[in-house]
Amino acid sequence: MFVQKLTIKRFSLLQNTLKKKKWYIPPKVRAITFNKHDPPIEVLSSHISIATLTPISLHLKFLVSPINPLDINLIEVIGIGDKVEDKVGNWVVMGKSAFGTWRTHTEATPDDVIRNTHEEIGIVKAATLKVSPCSAYHMLKEFAVLKEGVIYVIQNGANSGVGQAIIQIAKAWNINTINIINDRPNFQELKDYLKSIGATYVMSDKDLQAKNHEFE
């Protein structure tokens, strides 16, 4: 009995030590999953087991997960198989749609993720890399033929993630932008920020409705 208690105590101490480590994966991880279409209360599961690490797989910890459909999750590699070239601690974003991001950890392969090499941009910006910049690039490149320096792009919601990406890409391509944002108490502060990242003109929705308004 004494030996059993001592073993249990040591095991408990080991678990507590592991939990303090950055890359510890508990036996059961939190996840919102379902495997059939029935009333949510009947089919949703909140805890699952993670598959054992193989030589060609990764263990991932989710740092940011989407709630708004414009957000894309950001995750961190916390375990790698012997044949995986990635490194523990790297940030990655999902490379495939509908992977299932409402979870704390998961097992994946290198083909499931895209390596994010610019961690200095911060977790929030990194989490939207697959949506906002790509959408902005696609709109500027695919929807119209834009000539350098002689055309204006006008957009509303210019302070959104996509809007800010459009401003910066257009600036890099020498394309002028007219940017409309909702009127607000900190309008001037936001206007100054958008101009600092490359906006040509910034105006409020109220300014747009006014006659003879001069762009600024």
pLDDT in tens, 131-169: 788 889 988 888 877 766 568 899 999 999 899 999 999
Listed ranges 29-38, 53-62, 67-76, 91-100; the one with the highest mean pLDDT: 53-62
Amino acid identity, position 38: D
Confidence of residue 130 (pLDDT cuts 50, 70, 90): confident
What are the φ and ψ backbone dihedral angles of 15, each rounded to 5 degrees?
-60, -45
The stretch 73-86 carries a mean pLDDT of 63
Those residues with Cβ within 8 angstroms of residue 112's Cβ, 6 or more apart along the chain or in another chain = 58, 94, 95, 96, 99
Q: Which two tokens stand for residue 172?
A: 């890099």
Domains of the chain: 21-126 (3.90.180.10), 132-209 (3.40.50.720)
Taking 90 as the threshold, does the pLDDT of residue 114 lie above it?
no
Q: CA-CA distance, 66 to 59, in Å (whole number)?
A: 19
CA angle 74, 75, 78 (to 5 degrees): 165
Give the span between the Cα atoms of 155 and 144, in whole angstroms. Answer: 14
Count of beta carbons in the 10 Å neighbourhood of residue 162: 21
CB neighbour burial string for 175-192, b if at least 16 within 10 angstroms, e if fewer? bbbbbbbeeeeebeebbe
